[in-house]
Amino acid sequence: MLDAALPLPLPLALPAMDTPLPGHRIPLASPNTWIRAALKCRFNVHPLMAAAQADLSPERPATITRQGMVQLMQQCVVEAAPQHHFPLVLGDAFAFDHLPAIETFLATSPTLRQALPALHWAEQMMPTMKLRWEEGTAVSAIVIDVALPTDSEHVKGWFAEGLLAGIHKFMRLALGAGSAGMHLELAHDPGPQRRDCEAHFKLPVRSMAGRNALVFPTAVLDRHLPGAVPGLHVRAQQLIEQQMPTPPQGLSARLDAMFRQQPQLLGQGIERLADRMGLHPRTLQRRLQTEGQLFADIQARCRFDLAVQALKQSTCSIEALSEQLGFSDRHSFTRAFRRWTGLAPTEFRQQHLAQQPASH
């Protein structure tokens, strides 16, 4: 029976064990983490995994359907309540059991910035999660989007809480207690579980924030970490890149996606971007060339697309847009835009507005 402390009734009319759950199978990242978390919460997760039709065969990597993931989380939350909020326990128990080199890579990172490639590896292993990095001058954030077949913002929020708890655990260990963030943002209202989140993260929680994010000072990214072992860090990265499955998209597509998700990266140059991707600049250039791409061309294409989109859809100033796209000043942006279109940005915007039907 669902405990009254949970904020909303959970959809417990779930498929029976002999009813196939719809959808393609996806990796079930670190099933041992689910087992450890359930043991801490004093229940047996194996029957729940069976009901969710998780494939835990020792001959192959663990898999589950997206609908099965939803069902498994729902049932675990119910079993753990009211003594524990399962997503937080899950995140705190997370470990890269099948790829321990990732933990070595994280533990030996000279700085948090040099640990950032782990976000990409985590996303590869957890296809229900999309992680993006937003860096500002004073404040930065790790942002999580959840792609699951449910309309329940609470269920999506539980997955985000769990992953944020895992990320926060590493940052807390690396930086020390009280140094891993400024506040937590949640897209849903956690209800009574807000107290659990604030106690676990030791941070203020802002609900209904429009995103799931851990927000912290940008300055911590380049702070030297006491556990740094540069040689072991590089070796761990080499092992990970050998063992990780081939990404479904090329390096040029990854770079394109990074620029579009985080436009502030457009002005940081190839050296900084290569560092963020865990590559030497020459390695990045060489790999792009094998794909028939150049860094400058990808950068210009993304700047053009984002500029056109902004000029059509917003009334932001040209100065602000120039800064957002990484140009040194408005004049540099204007020269580049005129080279792309034959028009200045203000002329392009006026021409677009003139072509729009008059409102009545």
Q: What is the pLDDT of residues 229-258, one digit of tens each?
A: 989 998 998 888 888 765 546 788 888 888
Please, what sign has the CA dihedral across residues 76, 78, 81, 87? Answer: positive
- Per-residue pLDDT tens over the stretch 256-311: 888 887 888 898 889 988 887 778 888 889 888 888 788 998 999 899 988 988 88
Please, what sign has the CA dihedral across residues 78, 149, 259, 272? Answer: positive
How many contiguous H segments (helices) and E segments (strands) does the chain have? 16, 7
* Calpha distance 219→30 (Å, rounded): 32
Cβ–Cβ under 8 Å, residues 69 and 21: no
Which amino acid would we find at residue 95? Answer: A
pLDDT for 197 beyond 90? yes
Nearest-CA neighbor of 306 among 322, 292, 291, 293? Answer: 322
Q: Exposure pattern of 155-168 as b/e (b: 16+ CB <10 Å)? A: bbbbbbbbbbbbbb
Tokens (6 digits) for 102: 């990732």
Q: Which helix (H) or strand (E) segment is 36 a member of?
A: helix 31-40
Residue 178, pLDDT score: 58
pLDDT for 150 beyond 50? yes
For residue 182, give every residue at least 6 positions away whose Cβ sits within 8 Å of its Cβ, in sequence order, or none: 139, 203, 215, 216, 217
Nearest-CA neighbor of 4 among 78, 88, 87, 86? Answer: 78
- Per-residue pLDDT tens over the stretch 87-105: 999 999 988 877 889 889 9
Cβ–Cβ under 8 Å, residues 41 and 89: yes
- Per-residue pLDDT tens over the stretch 8-58: 333 333 333 334 444 568 888 889 999 999 999 999 999 999 999 999 988
Cβ–Cβ under 8 Å, residues 321 and 275: no
pTM: 0.65
* Calpha distance 20→26 (Å, rounded): 15
Domain boundaries along the sequence of the chain: 101-222, 250-360
What's the distance, Cα to Cα, between the start and end of the chain in Å? 55
**Cα distances (angstroms) measured from residue 314 to each of 116, 261, 340, 343, 354:** 32, 18, 20, 18, 15
Residue 80, pLDDT score: 97
Residue 3, pLDDT score: 34
* Calpha distance 184→100 (Å, rounded): 28
Residue 283, pLDDT score: 87
Mean pLDDT of the residues in the chain: 84
Residue 171, pLDDT score: 87
Residue 127, pLDDT score: 78
Return the SS3 of 112: coil
* Calpha distance 215→141 (Å, rounded): 4
- Per-residue pLDDT tens over the stretch 205-237: 999 998 999 999 998 888 889 888 989 998 998
CA angle 158, 163, 164 (to 5 degrees): 95
What mean pLDDT is predicted for residues 136-151? Answer: 86
CATH topology of domain 250-360: Arc Repressor Mutant, subunit A (1.10.10)
- Give the ranges where 94-192 is alpha helix by DSSP (H): 101-107, 117-125, 153-175
